[in-house]
Structure 1
Amino acid sequence: MLTFAMTTTTKLAGLSLYKKDKLLGEIHVEMAKTHSTTILEQIDSLLKWTGKKLDEIENVIVSIGPGSFTGVRIAISVVKGLFFGKNVNFYEVNELDALGYQGYYNLKINLENDENVKIYSLIDSRKEKIYSSAYEIFCEKAANKLELVKNYEVTKLDNVIEEIIENKQNGENNKKIYLIGDAVFNYKVKILDKLGNFVKIFEDKNLAINTMTYVQMFLDKNLRNDDVLGKNIVKKTDIFNLKPDYLEKSQAERDKK
């Protein structure tokens, strides 16, 4: 069973190919402009390097956003074009959820049972406008689990900073706050200047999304069947219902008004 995962939601394009739970190959390329000129070439290279064929892929996992409007559309359009009429299972992943889980996976090994942890996922939409959501790690007898505690939103970086400061001053002082996402990398100087010891930031190499996280979520059976907060985060869909989730209207849609 081959599983292919893909994102072009931000400037960093990510592709990975797995056979069951074994990584066969991955590609990460940061683009200055658009992914459309190189993404098919990257997919072709991934298949050649791993010695696999497109027809062997059974599961396709793709990011539906939020992020760059063009980038989100590119990934979805490409997988629809490549796998139209083929017998594959389609799965969609919200990029904010995936970032939350990426942070969780990075922390999981070192978590103590009594630790109180909150993770903010922050995706840059330029000029300090960001896509944001928050998650908490809950400790249970069998294992730790991650739950969405603040729904997806479009906001300003200053609003998130103010929220964290306010929460720290009103009851979350014992909670460890972690930040993840490309917005953290892009605005790190300001974040550290405003928040200082209030937050912890993952290493630069772990801030941007990695499609290996998508596959790990899939292998962990974090499958979402509804839209309730905290109810898993990989949703099975089909080629016709696979659609972007921008969180906001595009410039063209706003201009119509």
Structure 2
Amino acid sequence: MFTNFGWIVEAKLKDGQLDNFKQVMNSQIKRAQTETGTLNYQYYLSDAGDILVYERFANAEASHEHIENWDAHAERWLASANATRMLHLGDLPDDVRARHAALSPLWLKPLAGFAREDAEGSAIAKNGHITFENFGWIVEAKLNEGMREEFIKVMNSQIKRAETEIGTLNYQYYLSDEGDILVYERFADAHACHVHIDNWDAHAEKWMAAATPTRMVHLGDLPDDVRKRHEGISPLLLKPLGGFAK
């Protein structure tokens, strides 16, 4: 099992605002690097202007510090992009949840899985800014009625198998009170992606009998041979734009 304090923010880039968005994003990233409790602050962007920000903190106090720093950037950020969705990931306290009430975030709590914390670091200096690399994806699904126990069985079987995959760095299941499922998956490299997909294939039929996939997002500069293995779900590709993982 794992713990998590964090969230995902999704947005749509406004026409002609990429340069302005990058400016405010890089200012935020520079500030966030001074926040000792901010563990992940990672921006992704699709070719069509879809933005996803993955944020993770050491504890609730660290998330409050980050929100206060965000407030200084909020006006310029929202002038460049329209916020479309927010997901809270973890057992967040009410005082943190209340600070995002205007966005009505969907609350997904840890269900099962793991994170190899010793492999979290990722930061690359590029064109004078800090960015990162990533191999992974997010899967979203809806729990089928009356299938919770069956889903947990196949999920636990997958997790047990994934723990033997040394290149699988994060394999984390979240569940909302309404049956919304989110799986956050991250790998060391493309080879590790293929190993995990091979093992997933042995569970796919039972998994999809218990839950209906609704969305998949590829996170990172994934090679075509990995992308093709998910083409039946038509995943959105979001490439690293800026940020870091400590």
Q: TM-score, normalised by structure 1?
A: 0.31
Higher relative contact order at CA 8 Å, sep ≥6: structure 1 or structure 2?
2
The TM-score with structure 2 as length reference comes to: 0.32
Q: Which has the larger share of strand?
A: 2
